[in-house]
Chain A
Amino acid sequence: MGKIFETPLYAYEKSADQSADNPARHPVIVIGAGPVGLAAAVDLAQADIPVVVVDDNDKVSSGSRAICFAKRPLEILDRLGCGQVMVDKGVIWNTGKVFFDEHQVFQFDLQPDGVHQRPAFINLQQYYLEQYLVERLRVLQAEGKPIEIRGRNKVTALEQTDDHVSLTLETPDGPYQIKADWVIACDGANSPVRSMMQLDFDGRVFEDNFLIADVVMEAQFPAERWFWFDPPFNRNQSALLHKQPDGVWRIDLQLGWDIDKEKEKRPENVIPRLKAMLGEDAKFELEWVSIYTFQCRRMEKFRHNRVLFAGDSAHQVSPFGARGANSGFQDTDNLCWKLKLVIEGKASEKLLDSYDIERVYGAEENILNSTRSTDFITPKSDISKVFRNAVLDLSAKYEFARPLVNSGRLSVPCIYDTSPLNGENEDGFPANLRPGASAIDAPLKDGWLLEKLGGCFQLLTIDAYAPNTIDVDGIMIERLALDKTDSLATRYLGNNASAVYLMRPDQHVVARWTTFDEEKIREALNRAIARI
């Protein structure tokens, strides 16, 4: 284990709240400084909402855990000021190969539809992401933004009344209490907060174990995702190889159900397995080894009055498809602008119910995809294995079988088709940008479209008139006026000559028309903030 795992990233410091006579009250407390909690805190602080993050630890997540970060989360991280460092450090990849037995059966390319600022995927160790988010938090602090992080502050009790939440925190200097108007619980899959509130977390456990190892080695493998079904080096099981920065490689080996986890984790048992895969002479060092059983489950509701669950605490998926952290960022992206409007008194609490509706919908989609992948990778009966192998046998020679090969359906942004916030959708526009969808990037004369979107409601106009600002009872809509280009035409216009898109602060589409109509825009905005 390297230095990064041992050095405190946000060391404990006694806060004034600990010696206050009465519990201090904060607008928002985020529980958990994993990727999702940190993203929530940075998002709120950037929008000038005071926020305190507490974590019972003071270091980055031990081991790499998440490594694949998809385009949409990178775009969200761009808005949070961390996208560029991630892409600079990360390994960009576009190609996935699938092997069955000794042969390659299938290859996919994740080439986006033309030019985008961000790649389809990068690989980067989760600890770098956490480090970058904490660094970003420090920059915001230095700029005077209202954000604070408290290491070794463990939440041990939580009580909720109609107008606030009380927390008890355990620290090296003993316990203290604080109050919050709102709590965002990002305390991970085992969420103690969920247990304290006696809430459900139902779903499926897959009866299989996976050895996950990060090894440091000089290797000539390309920056591609390689997945094996039933390879000679791990018979009747699967395997995955993926490149990370710093010469680190992620290896997943399926082990089966009936194993002794402690024994399998010992280097003397791990190393021969890796040598069988990498070759007897391969020189490598183990950076991190762990054994996982995967599950797909979620809470029934993500909003429990003043406590909002986000990330793994609200939903958990198996890692095939990289939908864990990637979807957690979509949670906070969805939640933070809504919470800001509610805190500022511009929207009613009802808007927060749409967080629940939209992100439960997103979680269902992720669970469905990740369950299907896991069922393919770990067939749960003899006959499902027969069909799985039938698909693989056919896929080597016949193209038709390849779409059935499921080694993980990789994370793509969710379109909130059933959201009550969605408005009108005139005919003739591209379907993938319908109300509920997140914006698609496009090159502009002076940069990228997504750099100009987000943070407030906007009217994106292409060859269409609109006023520069519209004030809808205290909420400003700002116009982003664009001239038609080829990529804007294909991505935003479709068969229409002009477009007016009403965009949410999280870059999702509310409604779209061919021409400006103030009445319709006011109505759509009011719907988008749950006023009607």
Chain B
Amino acid sequence: MLITTPNLTPADEFYETLLAAHEDLSQEQSVAFNARLVLVLANHIGDLTILSEALDVVEETAKPAE
């Protein structure tokens, strides 16, 4: 099951690292960077059910807020 409760203990630190990694990248490079990141993480998770649940969460939150 996909974890949807807080699980990333040093939350602020991760967020900072993520932004730092993108800092000097152009929009296009950032898009490519994120794509590689998705693939690396997906392989680590390695479970299509969890990945599908993750895709659902992402899709669901993309809907415009009412």
Give the interface of A toward B (CB within 8 A). Answer: 383, 386-387, 389-391, 393-394, 398, 400-401, 404
**Would you call B40 an interface residue if the criterion is a C-beta within 8 Å of the partner chain's C-beta atoms?**
yes
Q: Which chain B residues (5-54) contact chain A, with CB distance < 8 Å? A: 31-32, 35-36, 38-40, 43
A-B complex: 7 closest residue pairs judged by Cβ atoms: A390-B35, A400-B43, A390-B36, A386-B35, A387-B35, A386-B31, A390-B39
**Docked complex Cα distance between A391 and B36 (Å):** 7
Q: Contact: A404 with B39, CB < 8 Å?
A: yes
Q: Given the complex, which residues of B lie within 8 Å of A387, measured CB to CB?
A: 35, 38-39
Known A387-B39, A390-B36, A404-B39; further 4 A-B contacts with Cβ < 8 A: A383-B31, A383-B35, A390-B32, A391-B39
Contact of B32 among A386, A398, A401 (CB under 8 A): A386
Q: Chain A residues near B43 (CB, 8 Å)?
A: 400-401
Q: Which residues of A contact B40 (CB under 8 A)?
A: 394, 398, 400
How distant is A133 from chain B, measured CB to nearest CB, in Å?
A: 43
**CB-nearest residue of chain A to B37:** A390
* A389→B32 contact, CB < 8 A: yes
Measured CB to CB, the closest approach of chain B to A14, in angstroms, equals: 62
Of chain B, the residue at the smallest CB distance from A390 is B35
User: DSSP class of B's interface residues: helix, strand, loop or mixed?
Assistant: helix
Number of B residues with CB within 8 Å of any CB on chain A: 8
B contact set with A: CB distance below 8 Å: 31-32, 35-36, 38-40, 43
**Closest approach, in angstroms, between the C-beta of A385 and any C-beta of chain B?**
10
Instruction: Name 5 interchain pairs, CB-CB below 8 A, sorted by A.
Output: A389-B35, A390-B35, A394-B39, A394-B40, A400-B43
The residues of B that contact A386 with a CB separation of less than 8 Å are 31-32, 35
- Among the interface residues A390, A391, A393, A401, which one has the most CB atoms of the partner chain B within 10 A? A390
What residues of A have a CB within 8 angstroms of the CB of B32 in the complex? 386, 389-390, 393
A401 to B37, CA, bound (A): 12
A387-B39 Cα distance, complex, nearest whole Å: 8
Question: Which chain B residue shows the least CB distance to A382?
Answer: B31
With both beta carbons as reference points, the residue of chain B lying nearest to A386 in the complex is identified as B35
A384 to chain B, nearest CB (A): 10
Separation of A390 and B31 alpha carbons in the complex (Å): 10
What CA separation (Å) do A465 and B31 show in the bound complex?
A: 65
Please, how many angstroms separate the alpha-carbon atoms of A404 and B43 in the complex?
A: 10
CA distance A401 to B36 in the complex (A): 10
Which chain B positions have C-beta within 8 A of A393?
Answer: 32, 36
Q: Provide the residues of chain B in CB contact with A390, threshold 8 Å.
A: 32, 35-36, 38-39
Among residues of A, the one whose C-beta sits closest to the C-beta of B43 is: A400
With both chains docked as a complex, state the minimum distance between the C-beta of A230 and any C-beta of chain B, in angstroms.
Answer: 14
Chain B residue with the shortest CB-CB distance to A400:
B43
Q: CA of A312 to CA of B36 in the docked complex: distance in angstroms?
A: 38
In Å, the complex CA distance between A386 and B43 comes to 17
Find chain B residues with CB under 8 A from A389 CB: 32, 35
Task: Determine the distance from Cα of A398 to Cα of B40 in the docked complex, in whole angstroms.
Answer: 10
**Which single residue of chain B is at the shortest CB-CB distance from A387?**
B35
B35 surroundings in chain A (CB, below 8 A): 383, 386-387, 389-390
B39 engages A401 (CB within 8 Å):
yes
Q: How far is the CB of A382 from chain B (nearest CB, A)?
A: 9
Q: Which residues of B contact A383 (CB under 8 A)?
A: 31, 35
The CA of A252 and the CA of B39, in the complex, are separated in Å by 29
Shortest A64–chain B CB gap in Å is 37
- Closest chain B residue, CB of each to CB of A389: B32
Provide the residues of chain A in CB contact with B36, threshold 8 Å: 390, 393-394
From residue A366, how far is it (CB to closest CB) to chain B in Å?
22
User: Which residue among B31, B38, B39 has the maximum number of chain A CB atoms within 10 Å of its CB?
Assistant: B39
Closest CB in chain A relative to B38 CB, distance in Å: 8
Chain B neighbourhood of A391, CB < 8 A: 39
Distance in Å: Cβ of B27 to nearest Cβ of chain A: 12
Cβ distance A376 to chain B, nearest Cβ, rounded Å: 13
| Cα distance A393–B39 in the bound complex, in angstroms | 11
Min Cβ gap B30→A in Å is 10
Give chain B nearest CB distance to A106 CB in angstroms: 15
CB distance from A31 to the nearest CB of B (A): 44
On chain B, the residues within 8 Å of A398 by CB distance are: 40
Give the distance in Å from the alpha carbon of A401 to the alpha carbon of B38 in the complex.
12
Q: Look across to chain A and name the residue whose beta carbon is closest to the beta carbon of B28.
A: A386
**Minimum Cβ distance to chain B for residue A38 (Å):** 42
Q: What's the nearest-Cβ distance from chain B to residue A101, in Å?
A: 14
Cα separation A400 to B41 with both chains bound (whole Å): 11
Chain A residues whose C-beta falls within 8 Å of the C-beta of B39 in the assembled complex: 387, 390-391, 394, 401, 404
Q: Smallest CB-CB separation from A388: which chain B residue?
A: B35
Q: Say how far A34's CB is from chain B's closest CB, in angstroms.
A: 39
The residue on A at minimum CB distance from B35 is A390
Q: Using Cβ atoms and an 8 Å threshold, which residues of chain B touch A400?
A: 40, 43
How many Å from the CB of A242 to the closest CB on chain B?
29
Which residues on A sit within 8 Å (CB–CB) of B38?
387, 390
A387 vs B31: C-alpha distance in the bound complex, in angstroms?
9
Instruction: Give Cα A401 to B35, complex, Å.
Output: 12
Please indicate the chain A residues that have their CB under 8 angstroms from the CB of B31 in the complex.
383, 386
